[in-house]
Structure 1
Amino acid sequence: MLTRRTVRCLIAASVAAIVLTHAGPAGADGGIGGVNCRQNPSAPECEVSAGTPGGQGDAAGGGQGRGGSGDGSGGGGDGGCYWAPVDGDLPPPPGKGPQGGWYAWTCVADGLGTQDPPVWLDQAPTVDLVALAQTARSRLRLPSPQIRTNPAAAPFVLVRVPVWLWVDPATWGARSATASVPGVSVTATATPTQVVWSFGDGSDDLACSGPGEPWKRGTDPLASSPCGHTYTSSSAVAAGSAFQLQATVTWSVTWSGAGDGGTLAPLTTTSTVSVRVAQSQAIVGGSQ
């Protein structure tokens, strides 16, 4: 069974753990026999982590504990623990130099904060910026692409009539999210770069470098779109008598903060609409 001390030693945020590293061996003043991770975070048995308050997935969280900081754009905070610097003019303990500082083990859960009495750390822990950026990435709220077509997909489109395809501008644009620990904030920004169209009729997918071009009034209805598709068969034999038109948007993700920055793994969002394709019937008239 894990003791409370063991749990504290292996503490990790429920969303993401931002591992605090040390430039060299660090000690804490006032340690009591055995391993006390809160007072000796550099011990081999201890994994000191900084939690960033926030929810899972794309939900940004808030909440602020004493000595900590909250960020995000809504929702309640999940758990997170970190070493927070203690403000004030407290002198170092006897025999300790000026390079260290007082820190308090601080936790935030459900918008409420707790903080242990401060202890002296010989060296200030530093934040793993890339790990913090990953937390910011997990908080990105990316919209699913809103598919637009001309002719409209409902009630049906006709065989051999070009269909113009594009993503509504409201769902095409950069989105950002931020994650923080005391004294450091990192922002992740996702930018849509391409959309891949899958038509559901057995034809090859089509990759477009942008959102696609909307059809404009006055354009020849039979003109082909730079990013579109022409169905060559009826959907009558397809499941549900409709083809599934799918748009998958790829988002490039970058991060910046604390004078640094970089690139993270891309993200994707997807939407699907049903398209019924009808065979046009020619009406042949005669004269007598």
Structure 2
Amino acid sequence: MLSRPCLGVAGLAAGLLWAAALPFAVAGGPGGGVVCPPKKLNCELTAQEPGKPGVGKPARVVGKPASEAGLPTCAIDGREVPCSTPEMGRFSSADSCYWKPTDGPDGGLPAGFDTGAPEGWGPGDPGGALYLVTCPTGDGDVRGGIRWSPTGPADGGVDVQALAQQAVEQLRLEGPDIGIAPRPDGTGLVGMPVWMWNKPGPTRTGPTSAAASAGSVTVTATARVAKMVWLMGDGAVITCTGPGTPYEPRFGKQKSPDCGHMYTATSARAPGGRYRVTATTTWDIQWAGAGQSGTLTTTRQSPTSLASGELQVLNVP
């Protein structure tokens, strides 16, 4: 009995690496093969050595779905799978298989092993390459083997995650367009409400989208602000889940309904006699393309300052 670990719902790269050394065309057929439970990143499996009957121990699941682990995810028939693993290489949406360049197993390919390569072609020769191709099936099994290809996977082996990063860089996200009352060129009062908001706009609050393409593959990234964090300069940290409500004179001395603060001391002892205020937006970015998808997070920041004083009362005898 041989025991092999594997990664990914697609699972089984280690099992296939072992099995690929055998003269076979398809792994995972009836009566043999290796299987990992779907939607898991890690599992432990056993593979029956040919010619020796017996039953392997059940798979022990020790992982999490890729999305819960914060990894980009791809899909096969609606099932979540990792977009790449060190053992299996990159996922190709063209055939729902993983492709990884290989020179074959240690010791070379067995005599009579048919990879589909032209007669006389050998590993390292120009005009093509060998790939370990791993194809999870709808029933949770996996099939594949070593295959020669002149070009690699049908989608050209595009690194979709790198393409997603290009799309993200084209979003041109900016820091908050700060609105604050009292205005920075005036002076607020201790104990009076301060209103803060981010003036809406595609590059300030979202949503905004951008795309990047390579060959026939296009990845689109869409970003929107998830929250804003205000450092008010007096030690207070205010988190607002929306852009905030712009102040209008008709509100008078009311408090902001969704994003506000109140100073309890003057800014006289702050540097320059003003509170340094910093607003930071956290952007959630979702990208998708070529059957893959993922989520990224980034931040943008803008500064301002505000003076806060005390109301002076004149006592007249």
1:181 match:
214
Quote how far apart the aligned CAs of 1:208 are.
Answer: 0.9
Asked if 1 retains the 8 angstrom alpha-carbon contact of 2:288 and 2:294, the reply is no
Counterparts of 1:44-59 in structure 2, within 5 Å, are none
Cα distance between partner residues in 2 of 1:284 and 1:31: 105
Q: Which residue number corresponds to residue 282 of structure 2? A: 250
Give the Cα–Cα distance (whole angstroms) in 1 for the partners of residues 208 and 119 of structure 2: 46
* 1:233–1:30 CA distance, 2 compared to 1 (3 A): farther
Distance, in Å, in 1 between the alignment partners of 2:120 and 2:313 is 90
Task: Name the structure 2 match of 1:277.
Answer: 308
SS at match of 1:188: strand
CA deviation string 1:110-158 (max 9, x = no partner) = xxxxxxxxxx437533334334223322332101101111221213222
CA distance in 2, matches of 1:261, 1:20: 11
Q: Which amino acid aligns with 1:148?
A: G
| Secondary structure at the counterpart of residue 248 of structure 1 | strand
Paired residue for 1:121?
151
RMSD: 3.3
TM-score by length of 2: 0.53
Task: Select the residue among 190, 215, 218 that pairs with 2:250.
Answer: 218
The question of whether the paired residues in 1 share the 8 Å contact of 2:123 and 2:129 is answered with no
User: Contact between 1:164 and 1:224, CA under 8 Å: does it hold in 2?
Assistant: yes
1:233: how far off?
0.9
Q: Hey, what does 1:241 align to over in structure 2?
A: 273
Instruction: Name the counterpart of 2:298.
Output: 267
SS for the counterpart of 2:250 is coil
Match of 2:263 among 221, 224, 231: 231
In 2 relative to 1, CA 283–253 (structure 1 residues): closer, same or farther, beyond 3 Å?
Answer: same
Residue 134 of structure 1 corresponds to which residue in structure 2?
A: 165
C-alpha separation in 1, matches of 2:313 and 2:120: 90
Residue in 1 that maps onto 2:62: none
SS of 1:127's partner is coil
Distance in 2 (alpha carbons) for counterparts of 1:140 and 1:41:
37
> What letter is aligned with 1:272?
P
Q: How does 1:1-288 map to 2 (within 5 A)?
A: 23=99, 35=124, 39-42=127-130, 120-121=150-151, 123-124=153-154, 125-170=156-201, 171-203=204-236, 205-220=237-252, 222-226=253-257, 227-258=259-290, 260-286=291-317
Q: Is the 8 A contact 1:147 1:247 kept in 2?
A: yes
Rg (Cα) greater in structure: 2
Structure 2: distance between partners of 1:224 and 1:249: 22
Q: Do the aligned partners of 2:123 and 2:130 also contact (CA within 8 Å) in 1?
A: no
Q: Which residue of 1 aligns with 2:72?
A: none
- CA shift digits 1:16-40 (9 cap, x unpaired): xx9966647788879999846x744
Gaps of 5+ in 2: 1-83, 92-97, 103-114, 133-146
Distance 2:298 2:200 in 1: 18
Identity of aligned residues (%): 35
Is the contact made by 1:30 and 1:39 (CA closer than 8 Å) also made in structure 2? no
